[in-house]
Structure 1
Amino acid sequence: MNDIGAQADGALGAFCLDTTITGGFDTFLRGWQTQVGDDFPQPTYSPATIRDFRMKTRVAKVRDVAIVDVHGVSAAETAGTPGGVEDQVRLYVMRRGAWTLSDPRDRGEHTISAGQFLLRYVGRPAHFTTVPQTTAKILVLPAATLKPLLGNRIITGPVGAAEVRLLVAHATMVHAAMADLSPVGVQAVHSTLIELAKAVARRRFDDVEPQLAPAIVQAAKDLAGSLLADPELSPAILARELNVSVRTLQRAFAAVGESVTAYIRHRRLEEARLALTAPHGEPRVSVSELAAHWQFADSSHFTRAFKKRYGQTPTEYARSIRPARD
């Protein structure tokens, strides 16, 4: 378990736990209660789940919002008769596996499969089950600001929806920044989480809202990272996938002191540099192969860009690290 920034006023709390390596259900439950608290109580689990609880969990609490990343190696299932009131909105973003939710209002079930999301208001506790190897990001959100937008609707769709991409990107940034957040920072990230959750409920977001610029940038970076070797990668492609204008995307990057084109070029150069550090015994790629793979016009253009970035040509860089590597 790793406490990474709980504040005395309870505004923040976080922990990471891998029960496939150490501990078990009891360790998980103690960590959750200590670092996340009673505002986000855990349900009652089935005896089979408790007996074989193999899960990797990362949780960040920001005031009345909880961000939960979970990879369940084993299956999980709740048990007993749920009681009480939860009065929360939950967003499930499924990366792998499946998560099935019961609905006490209509006694039906909703299964969220890999590549899909589900957003709904939860008034009363309900059962859920997951299959082994399920990976998901779950956001628990305050009902006061989101229930009026949702009512009894259950909103579903692909995780690639622009507003979901932005919310997931921002939530991931929150995890990374937890330890360094000031009270003003807590307010900023919390407000953005709520605004982006509203955007998911509305299925659209205000792309000129300055508060959303960091989330737009991070979502664009995440998307660019999966497309770096694609010759079609460009600001226009990223803007289209995020459902914003190119101008909005460029303005968002400018707000954090970058440009879209420069970011793509720097990431490609970094990947090329890493390729030059291949361990001894692995085949080494040539400068011309690197230039072609990372979409530089030719070897000369790649070499000039590499030297400007790292102070050495690719050949000089590879030679300089070879003695230490070999």
Structure 2
Amino acid sequence: MHHICRCPGRSFTRPTYLWVDPNAGGGPADLDTGSSAEAAGGGEDVMTTLLPSSPSCVLVQMEAQIIDDGPSYRRMRRHSLGPVAMATIESVPQRVRALLDEVPATAEEGVQLHLVHAGRLAVEQGRGATVASAGQALFYDAARPFRFVYPDPFSVSIVQIPKRVLGFDSSRLAALASRPVGARSGIGFVLGALLSRTAHVEQDLDPVGREAVAAAIVDVVALLGDSQLGRTSPAELHQRGLAAAANEYMRSHLADPLLGPDMIARELAVSVRTLHAVFESEPDTVARTIAKLRLEAVRRSLADTSFSHLPVSAIARSWGFTSSAHFSRSFRRTFGMSPTEWRRTALGGSLTDES
């Protein structure tokens, strides 16, 4: 299955098509058409946006038209982390129309969030339009007809997440789409910083890291939606923000054997007591959360053929376990079998016992 993006604007000599395969992988891709005499005089140009790694979560295809007579340029970088698709785009003024009739029937309905770094954005959906300026963000329903207008040169980040993953229903999304969200402070600022950091490190993340970052983005986007609707008090927003930040930090530092409440509290600039208080409303304590995440990481690695040459103990150490005996007991208690038994089952019984 492919994505197609048409760019038939008046500055182009003919429509240009870019075909990309969502099954080709989730790594970043760059597109920089530059600002050349050819582009200024009507040369070809291409626009693409988000390409999720899951074929069931296909981005709505777009048709873009340049509305500026000056030199044409477009710089784009896309990222895909499981159900989360991202892109950063810089370009000249343009109109963009969603091509909903080209979305495959297997695609999940998605929510998109536009974060405006420079310029302005107007999202037209239904009977009205909502405008966001630099330092603001907009939610909208990617399953309903919509149009963008960028009246100025712009720089934006776009995130798409399935409605199912976010837990957003139509009424909640309609309320969110009615006004822009501030992104220069609070949760909006946290999201902008997270997206920026992700864009720089995504290609270096291993599968566990990618899963962790995707989960963090989903958490913060959901939290931003709750804050916009006033469904949580400032104190609760602060607490949930700390919990999301702590969980992200834990997932990305599991390999460090020193990871614990003291280390996390220092990173978040809070007291250990405050950190423990935040996790009173979470399913597990800080220590138990770390232990569960490490056990799941080891379990995935043991089922990965690329690690089949490593002994179980080495894999456990690589995820921060310092005691082989403690690890083995915890693994058996959690999963009902020893690490070696799980590995043999997951890999089809092709391994001999090892520790």
TM-score (norm 1): 0.55
- Answer whether contact 1:100 1:130 (CA < 8 A) is retained: yes
Say which of 131, 134, 139 aligns to 1:119. Answer: 139
3-state SS of 1:200 partner: helix
Count of residues paired in the alignment = 220
Alignment deviations for residues 197-240 of structure 1 (CA, whole Å, 9 cap, x no partner): 1111111334134214489xxxxxxxxxxxxxxxxxxxxxxxxx
2 CA distance for matches of 1:99 and 1:15?
24
161, 164, 169: which is aligned to 2:193? 169
1:65 alignment partner, one of 81, 84, 91: 84
Quote the offset at 1:163 in angstroms.
1.2
Question: What SS does structure 2 have at the residue aligned with 1:78?
Answer: strand
Q: What is the rounded CA distance, in whole Å, between the counterparts of 1:47 and 1:206 in structure 2?
A: 39
Aligned in 2, Cα 1:46/1:179: closer, same or farther, shift over 3 Å? closer
2:149 is aligned to 129
In the alignment, the residues of structure 1 paired with residue 101 and residue 195 of structure 2 have an alpha-carbon distance, to the nearest angstrom, of 30
Q: Extract structure 1 runs of 4+ deviating beyond 4 A.
A: 6-11, 21-27, 29-38, 47-53, 79-82
Amino acid in structure 2 at the alignment position of 1:139: V
2:26 to 12, 15, 18: 12
- Taking the aligned partners of 1:133 and 1:115, their CA distance within structure 2 comes to 15
Assess, with a 3 A threshold, how the Cα gap between structure 1 residues 121 and 48 changes in structure 2: closer, same or farther: closer
Change (3 A) 1:36 1:28: farther
1:156-305 equivalences in 2 (<5 Å):
156-203=180-227, 204=237, 205-209=240-244, 210-213=246-249, 246-247=270-271
Q: Which 5+ residue runs of structure 1 have no aligned equivalent?
A: 1-5, 216-243, 256-326
CA contact 2:97–2:146 (8 Å) conserved in 1: no
Structure 1 residue identity aligned to 2:152: P
- 2:61 match: secondary structure: coil
Cα 1:81/1:246, change in 2 over 3 Å: closer
SS of 2:139's equivalent in the other structure is strand
| Alignment root-mean-square deviation, CA | 4.3
**TM-score, reference length from structure 2:** 0.51
Q: Does 1:40 align with 2:75?
A: no
- Report the counterpart of residue 54 of structure 1 in structure 2: 73
Give the secondary-structure state (helix, strand or coil) at the position aligned to 1:28. Answer: coil
Equivalent of 1:145, from 165, 183, 203? 165
- CA drift of 1:176 comes to 1.8
